A = this chain, B = another copy of it.
Amino acid sequence: MTDVTKGFAYVDARIVPISEAKISLLDWGFLHSDATYDVVHVWDGKFFRLDDHLERFFSSMEKLRMSIPYTREELKLVLSNCVKASGLREAYVEMITTRGLPKPGSRDPRTCTNQFFAFAIPFVWITKSQNGLHLIVSSKQRIPVESVDPAVKNYHWLDFVMGQFEAFDRGGETAVVVDSQGNITEGPGFNIFAVKDTEIITPASGILEGITRKTAIELATDYGYKVIQGNLAPEYARCANEVFATSTAGGILPITKIDDKIIGNGAMGPVTQKLQDAYWSLHNNPQYSLAIDY
């Protein structure tokens, strides 16, 4: 079992054991969930697609009108130092910027000094089972783009959390939430793909465009599949040959049951297997990985 007590964090510009990593109760990153974040993983001592994660993180901050006094290169050093302190060769590494605390008595976010945090903990898996996930299509709707821009990676997860409880009630392991038309959007920390013959469909809108999603699209396209970013109806997914999830927390993961319907033959399908293998192989490609100097 992964032990999150084994980890290190960067708080108030110092590296501390994860058990000492805390944030003020008054930080609006907590009290207003006024924060953005990104998660990159380390596999076999190397960051995977760190530049892509940093690009998205800085873009998210800009959209929320936040800034931190670090360059991308300085952030790489901070994140590396968290991992090095932990000694972990496989890690889940999160970077966070919060709005911070307002001037005393103020309700104006412009009076806040934004705060930066980071931590490295043992690798987190959405599922470790190779047998695949049992997914429930929840009745909960993903918070729409008109309310909160999903391209800004954010902590507004109550739709996912209540979707998860619905999944547990219905005998499932995790959930996807839907859009206002009932199409599948995404799950807590993962995107979703449905394979039918040589076509692969993944939801196009109302989602966070995951880096693992991007990698899966690139790999599938390279293999000659036609990847369609569009609407994914639950009925379509339930009748697909294969369905898989993509996440920094585990890569490319088979989904073998949706609601009461077994997908394919109930085990990881050949396309998912091929993409999963290619995904992990890519971790050895220096174009995508950055070795940590432990």
Contacts and interface: CB of A to CB of B under 8 A. Distances in A.
Interface of A: 1-5, 9, 11, 18, 21-26, 28-34, 37, 64-65, 94, 96, 99, 101, 103-105, 107-110, 117, 119, 121-122, 124-126, 140-144, 146-148, 152, 154-162, 164-165, 168, 174, 177, 180, 188-189, 249
Q: How many copies does the complex hold?
A: 2
23 contacts: A2-B104, A4-B104, A18-B25, A21-B26, A23-B25, A25-B119, A30-B30, A32-B158, A32-B161, A33-B155, A33-B158, A34-B161, A65-B165, A104-B122, A105-B124, A107-B126, A107-B188, A108-B168, A140-B147, A141-B144, A143-B144, A147-B177, A154-B158
Task: Pick from A11, A141, A158 the residue with the most CB of B within 10 Å.
Answer: A158
Contacts of A143: 143-144, 147-148, 156
A199 B64 CA distance: 39
Contacts of A188: 32, 107
Contact of A4 (B26, B152, B154): B26
A30 B32 contact: no
Contacts of A21: 24-26
A105 B122 contact: yes
A147 B157 contact: no
Contact of A3 (B9, B99, B105, B162): B105
